[in-house]
């Protein structure tokens, strides 16, 4: 992908006495240019992009920074550093990548402007670190508890159409609980009924709280958040600690089914996956029975060796044949596997890796269901619920490794393209649930799955943190206010105020882009005017009229995204500086640079 490169016209003075004439910080310019391509992903009204893969002759609809950066060709170290930073954020939180990339671009522009004004690299880094600390302190002071958010959503905010059905179902269940309590008034002295009623009421209250918190962090993805709430409700039904309102991400999986409308998406109990017609025929013969299960953590093939395995150095490989009769090592291994499966009456094998093609064909005739690519969290859940012990090699299986009490069934209401059939694997005590995500547009499935995981992690993080930040740019406006106030205080270095002012302008750029993407303004100029007007109403706290229109963000996710963005800018700034100045060991300027 060709990236535009802006040119710096003035000489840059940095690192004390080191002066660079007519040199360009290409890395910072590239960072800003790449970040500019993702501005359409900010806010609830995202502008998706179609990415066409000429080699595979297909296309993908992307609506997140992480997917876009993975799909495009990023030449150079700056693009790779940005991609790795975004992937680290995405892997941990599944959200916050949009603000990370945007801030990396605008803060890179701030650093570049500071260099053009003759501010040293050390002063830039010191002032920008102080600016970040000011913003993080704003987050700490302005965060609100999730209980308060739940009460505010209950009193002030009207639910969207997609979430309204979930809230109505919750209210109806609460009425049923009250009705059942009235019918049992004559038994109110029984400690058993009192305990049951209290537990049911606590569970219902927890679900009510989660529903309103989910509405606050849905960020416009109401359909995906509706699935998350249904998953949370299913988990609460199948767990001993039902009154605990936390969503268990580790017991949540997805199954993508193309060719069906998005309205058919739902949440099912257990592990749901797509299988071929041949494998589905095995399910038909096994359903309705209590089955034995084995768990394999790795690949199910003869040549697989676990991580850390070292082959003996003094062994020379001669032939693939075990003897002169022509039986290969793979064939003999398959016979050993089938003998093991038959010996312990194993009906289902879950494999975290891949299975050999020949083995898959042979187990079909033995009525054994082998499922590949199972997440480790799913293996762990089945291990807990069935007492099965995961093994690295199927030949290690003994009677202590086999789990019991598994049932399989076909989901006849769901069928994908290419003759794929949906099946479910369930145990009685599992709280594992699967979100079945469908779409008539195959290119949109990946985007819908990303939305679901983003909603699930935002809700999970909100319940884990116990507090939220006002969204829709409200917290960022407070950061602008605090940066302006910090600039007015006495400073040892007068250039620090210049850097803080530029950081405040970067936040203005972020909020104005957010307002434009949400459709509240038509241009950047109109957005800046609205921001200036709004700032006049901000004193020391957030007013009820400026609470982000009922939108909230995660504290930890936002703070970590800001830190990663600034660290990336400093890393690119240091790399550019070393390239331009040719810093060598022993020079005084070397101590001013950031070490990895």
Contact criterion met (CB below 8 Å) for 406 and 426: yes
- Residue where one domain finishes, among candidates 396, 429, 462: 429
Residue 349 CB contacts under 8 Å (≥ 6 apart), including other chains: 293, 294, 295, 296, 300, 341, 363, 368, 369, 370, 371, 394
Q: What is the CATH number of the domain that holds 572?
A: 1.10.560.10
For residues 500 and 466, membership in a common domain is answered with: no
Inside any domain, residue 2: no
Residue 241 CB contacts under 8 Å (≥ 6 apart), including other chains: none
The string of pLDDT tens digits covering residues 12-36 is 233 332 333 235 678 888 899 999 9
What is the pLDDT at residue 318?
62
For residues 276 and 386, membership in a common domain is answered with: yes
Residue with tokens 């900010």: 42
State whether residue 257 is helix, strand or coil: strand
For residues 63 and 91, membership in a common domain is answered with: yes
Inside any domain, residue 278: yes
Inside any domain, residue 256: no
Inside any domain, residue 416: yes
Inside any domain, residue 358: yes
Nearest Cα to Cα of residue 548 among 210, 142, 40: 142
For residues 283 and 232, membership in a common domain is answered with: no
For residues 508 and 535, membership in a common domain is answered with: yes
Inside any domain, residue 191: yes
Nearest Cα to Cα of residue 422 among 440, 437, 432, 403: 437
For residues 280 and 425, membership in a common domain is answered with: yes
Calculate the alpha carbon distances from 426 to 237, 292, 384, 435 in Å.
15, 12, 13, 14
Residues 130, 37, 441, CA angle at the centre, nearest 5°?
125
Residue 205 CB contacts under 8 Å (≥ 6 apart), including other chains: none
- Residue where one domain finishes, among candidates 470, 503, 537: 470
Inside any domain, residue 538: yes
Tally the domains of the chain: 3
For residues 480 and 583, membership in a common domain is answered with: yes
For residues 283 and 294, membership in a common domain is answered with: yes
Maximum Cα–Cα distance across the chain = 91
Inside any domain, residue 310: no
For residues 463 and 477, membership in a common domain is answered with: no
- Residue where one domain finishes, among candidates 439, 470, 501: 470
Residues of the chain with pLDDT under 50: 1-22, 162, 166-167, 170-204, 241-243, 321, 540-546, 584-596
What is the pLDDT at residue 462?
92
331: which 2 tokens? 């064939």
Cβ neighbourhood burial of 45 (10 Å; 0-12, 13-18, 19+): exposed
- Whole-number Å distance between alpha carbons of 354 and 443: 25
What is the pLDDT at residue 208?
59
Contact criterion met (CB below 8 Å) for 459 and 217: yes
372: which 2 tokens? 């590949």
Q: Supply the range of the domain harboring residue 296.
A: 271-304+322-429
For residues 461 and 419, membership in a common domain is answered with: no
- E-assigned strand segments in 91-188: 144-145
For residues 193 and 211, membership in a common domain is answered with: yes
State whether residue 552 is helix, strand or coil: strand
Q: What is the CATH number of the domain that holds 381?
A: 3.50.7.10
What is the pLDDT at residue 536?
73
Residue 552 CB contacts under 8 Å (≥ 6 apart), including other chains: 144, 149, 216, 217, 462, 468, 469, 470, 471
For residues 341 and 419, membership in a common domain is answered with: yes
């Amino acid at each position: 992908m060709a990236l535009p490169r802006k040119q710096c016209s003035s000489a840059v003075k940095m690192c004390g006495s080191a002066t660079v004439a007519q040199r360009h910080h290409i890395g910072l310019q590239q960072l800003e240019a790449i970040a500019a391509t993702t501005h359409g992903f900010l806010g609830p009204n995202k502008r998706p992009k179609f990415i066409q893969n000429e080699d595979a002759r297909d296309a993908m609809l992307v609506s997140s920074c992480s997917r876009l950066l993975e799909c495009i060709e990023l030449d150079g170290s700056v693009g790779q550093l940005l991609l790795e930073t975004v992937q680290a954020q995405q892997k941990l939180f599944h959200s916050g990548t949009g603000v990370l990339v945007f801030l990396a671009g605008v803060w890179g522009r701030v650093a570049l402007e500071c260099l053009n004004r003759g501010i040293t690299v050390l002063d830039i880094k010191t002032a920008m670190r102080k600016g970040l600390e000011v913003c993080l302190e704003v987050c700490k002071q302005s965060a609100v508890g999730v209980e308060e958010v739940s009460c505010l959503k209950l009193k002030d905010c009207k639910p969207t159409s997609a979430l309204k059905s979930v809230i109505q179902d919750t209210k109806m269940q609460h009425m049923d609980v009250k009705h059942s309590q009235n019918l049992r008034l004559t038994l109110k002295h029984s400690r058993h009924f009192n305990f049951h009623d209290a537990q049911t009421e606590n569970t219902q209250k927890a679900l009510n709280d989660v529903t309103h918190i989910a509405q606050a962090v849905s960020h416009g993805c109401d359909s995906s958040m509706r699935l998350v709430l249904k998953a949370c409700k299913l988990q609460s039904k199948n767990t001993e600690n039902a009154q605990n309102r936390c969503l268990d991400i580790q017991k949540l999986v997805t199954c993508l089914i193309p060719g069906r409308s998005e309205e058919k998406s739902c949440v099912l109990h257990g592990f749901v996956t797509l299988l071929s017609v041949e494998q589905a025929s095995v399910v038909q013969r096994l359903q309705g029975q209590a089955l034995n299960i084995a768990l394999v953590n790795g690949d199910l093939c003869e040549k697989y060796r676990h991580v850390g395995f070292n082959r003996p150095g003094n062994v020379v490989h001669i032939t693939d044949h075990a003897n002169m009769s022509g039986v290969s090592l793979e064939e003999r291994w398959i016979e050993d596997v089938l003998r093991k499966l038959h010996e312990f009456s194993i009906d289902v094998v879950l494999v975290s890796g891949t299975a050999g093609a020949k083995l898959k064909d042979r187990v079909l005739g033995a009525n054994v269901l082998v499922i590949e690519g199972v997440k480790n969290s799913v293996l762990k859940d089945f291990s807990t619920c069935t007492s099965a012990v995961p093994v690295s090699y199927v030949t290690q299986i003994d009677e202590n490794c086999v789990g019991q009490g598994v049932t399989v069934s076909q989901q006849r209401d769901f069928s994908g393209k290419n003759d794929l059939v949906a099946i479910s694997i369930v145990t009685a005590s599992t709280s594992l649930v699967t979100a079945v995500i469908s779409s008539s547009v195959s290119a949109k499935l990946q985007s819908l799955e990303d939305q679901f995981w983003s909603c699930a992690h935002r809700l999970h993080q909100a319940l884990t943190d116990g507090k939220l930040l006002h969204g829709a740019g409200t917290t960022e406006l407070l950061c602008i206010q605090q940066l302006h106030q910090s600039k007015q205080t006495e400073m040892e270095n007068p250039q620090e105020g210049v850097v803080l002012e530029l950081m405040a302008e970067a936040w203005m750029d972020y909020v104005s882009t957010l307002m434009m993407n949400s459709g509240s303004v038509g241009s950047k100029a109109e957005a800046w005017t609205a921001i200036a007007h709004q700032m006049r109403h901000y004193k020391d706290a957030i007013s009820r009229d400026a609470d982000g229109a009922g939108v909230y963000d995660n504290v930890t996710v936002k703070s970590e995204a800001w830190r990663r963005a600034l660290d990336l800018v400093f890393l690119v700034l240091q790399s550019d500086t070393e390239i331009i100045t040719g810093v060598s060991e022993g020079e005084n300027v070397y101590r001013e640079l950031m070490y990895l």
